[in-house]
Structure 1
Amino acid sequence: MTRSSKKLLGVAVAAFVFFLAVNIPAQVIQPFLVGTPADMSGLSGTLWNGAAQNFSVDQLRFGAARWRWKPGGLLAGRMEFDFQAGVPGQQLSGRFGLSLNGRIHASNANLELSLTRLGAMPFGTQARIIVAIESLAMAGDWPEHASGTIRLHDTSMNVPDKLALGDFEGHFRIENGGNLLADFFDLDGALEIDGTLDLDAKGNYQVTGLIRPRGRISRRLGNILNFMPRENGAYELSFSGSL
């Protein structure tokens, strides 16, 4: 075989391998999801640019999903994809990646869902949650570090009728695999709130803070506040539970 023939054969083999790689079907993902909280069905497209008719994480069902490979992640030693899935009121999107050491990364990610999807809340509290993740890294079932913002929109309680409370925002962080810590405050509504949230890896949480009425409040809301300890014109917020 001449040198030119060997070069042509090498180019042909490389082209064939490249063709196989870029056309890896999306179905190869499914075996890797076994034993994880995530599940996909109705897969189509390729590993690099694909879709699923149904995507879920535990009991959260997001409906159809799409993803596209972002080769720039290779510069950081990661396989990164832009991912989007959701149905009205429950959505997940952002850039997600897997590093060579097995860590899962997320950045510029957003999660939207109803508070009731996380379990029973005190006083029948309801809200629409929007979580904006600036950065996150996981090596197991709990993040090694994370930072971002949580917003509660249209917050209300059923006591026994619906009582509107307004919108709230919290800035959260996880450092060195520790608890999720968040400082939260009100954005509007009848109450001024300044508090903290402490959530551990098992889903146990503790909420503490101070509540002050903003101007004149309804009688029903006043009756609820009167069950709380009061000092220097502020009501002490303190409750705990498990997700």
Structure 2
Amino acid sequence: MRLQPGPTFLGIGCFVVFLIAATPARHVLGWLGDTIAPLTLADSRGTIWSGSATETHYNGVNLGTAAWRFQPLDLLAGKLRYRLSLRGPGQQLDGYAGVNIDGSYQAEHLKGIVKARILPGLLNQPMIGAVGDLDIDISSIQFAASNLNEAAGKIRWQGAGITSPVALDLGGMQFDIKGDENGLRSSIQDIGGGLSIKGELNLAPTGTYRISGRILPKASANPALVNTLKTIGKSGTGGSIQLNFSGQL
């Protein structure tokens, strides 16, 4: 009997896909090893098609439990994509992430609440202390060869505050994010609290960041907070305070 090439190759292809999809997640994570560092997943269960891990760490920061599920229909659009979810104490994050046909990495439709206190650790800035909740709504962020291709989204920092190196109660802030190969940019504005805030954040591809802003205390502003801002900023017109920070991630 002569085999028909089309159905034969299709059958072999489906069998190979089945074998790959059924591979236990713990084996795949073991093979990847340091290639996904500084991301680590512990006590993984299930397969690379659908599974979970009871502990997820990035830069040593515990992000909670993780779960993933392969999205096979996205292969038709040239994407190897997973639906992901993270769950931790008081926080949750859901979205999609994967690899495009051109080799770029992309995360899309990221939505959820993340505790601000974990952010300094994720960015390797242990000297900074932060409080509050980050309400995340990122429509897309894409990287190619560790370089940013595009980014778009919004982050609302509710109950925003800094505990170190200085203590600042910032109320609420919103970041409208855009990015391309030239770096990441975000406008900054207040969304409540005793301070009127207008500013901008710039992050260059080299990791150099610059934050500049104009703060105008409202009548309800804490006098001690205003005095602290004056010591770290520069007095401007109409009682405003100009702040400028820069550094390297």
SS in 2 for 1:151: strand
Correspondences of 1:87-236 after superposition (within 5 Å): 87-110=88-111, 112-115=114-117, 117-118=119-120, 119-120=125-126, 126-158=131-163, 164-175=169-180, 177-227=181-231, 228-233=233-238, 234-236=240-242
- Identity percentage over the alignment? 28
- Structure 1 spans left out of the alignment, 5+ residues: none
The Cα of 1:40 is off from its aligned counterpart by 1.9
Whether 1:242 aligns to 2:248 is yes
Pair 1:204–1:126, CA change in 2 (3 A): farther
Q: Distance in 2 between matches of 1:172 and 1:198?
A: 10
Normalising by structure 2, report the TM-score.
0.80
Asked whether the 8 Å contact 2:107–2:141 carries over to 1, the reply is yes
- Structure 2 spans left out of the alignment, 5+ residues: none
Normalising by structure 1, report the TM-score.
0.82
- Measured against aligned partners, the alpha-carbon deviations of 1:78-129 in whole angstroms (never above 9, x if no partner) come to 111101123114544210111233211111013623246412567x553333
Task: Kindly report the root-mean-square deviation, in angstroms, between the aligned alpha carbons of the 2 structures.
Answer: 3.0
SS in 1 for 2:23: coil
Asked whether the 8 Å contact 2:64–2:89 carries over to 1, the reply is no
Equivalent residues, number: 236
The Cα of 1:208 is off from its aligned counterpart by 0.7
The Cα of 1:134 is off from its aligned counterpart by 0.7
Structure number with larger C-alpha Rg: 1
Pair 1:71–1:114, CA change in 2 (3 A): same
Pair 1:121–1:173, CA change in 2 (3 A): farther
Pair 1:159–1:20, CA change in 2 (3 A): closer
